[in-house]
Amino acid sequence: MPAMKRAFDIVAALTALIFLSPVMAWIAVKVRRSSPGNAIFAQERVGRGERIFRCYKFRTMYEEAPNAGSHEVATSWVTPLGEMLRRHKFDELPQLWNVLRGEMSLVGPRPCLPAQTEMIEARRAAGVFSVRPGITGSAQLAGIDMSTPERLAEVDKRYVESRTFVGDMCIIFATIAGRGSGDAVGN
């Protein structure tokens, strides 16, 4: 399955980037106009084999907001446009570039921050770092975020052990249909 999954990731990400490029350009302009700062936000994340990579997203928070995991983000840090982008998962579109580069997959465990040591330890123990992280995954559809590292690692482990192409397609279609929590914001 890994070769077929990677081939699908490349074709789907490239196709999506081509067809969604006008939408992504429009979002970038709207982000830049909504508040000071770059349209694209880059953040270090932990990937397959615990390698650090730069994950790209549309910026949804004010420029002076601290670097924190989604479950630690205060609503006051998020721009009004950013709230809409997060709710509809449009902020994730630049991660298609990470998929093309081989740092991520369309489906897999969401990548955590290097500072989330509890999450890293739980995932290491569960063998989750054996696969590429994903833009979406089964834990997101279940509404499980990184505030519960052991629970998330267990769900991610089940995904790693039982993943199939058909299962990945179901996760993709469920995400497109709006299931899952996206990036939940704290208080």
Other CB atoms closer than 10 Å to residue 73's CB: what's the count?
21
H-type helices in 88-131, by residue range? 95-101, 117-126
Phi, psi for residue 10 in degrees, rounded to 5: -65, -50
pLDDT per residue of the chain (187 residues) written in tens, 0 to 9: 788 999 999 999 999 999 999 999 999 999 999 999 999 999 999 999 999 999 999 999 998 776 666 666 678 889 999 999 998 899 999 999 999 999 999 999 999 999 999 999 999 999 999 999 999 999 999 989 888 999 999 999 999 999 999 999 999 999 988 887 654 554 3
Element (H, E) at 81: helix 80-87
Element (H, E) at 6: helix 2-34
Question: What CA–CA distance (Å, rounded) separates 45 from 5?
Answer: 21
pTM of the model: 0.89
Amino acid at 166: V
Query: What is each CA distance from 100 to 17, 103, 118, 151, 167, in whole angstroms?
Result: 10, 8, 29, 29, 21
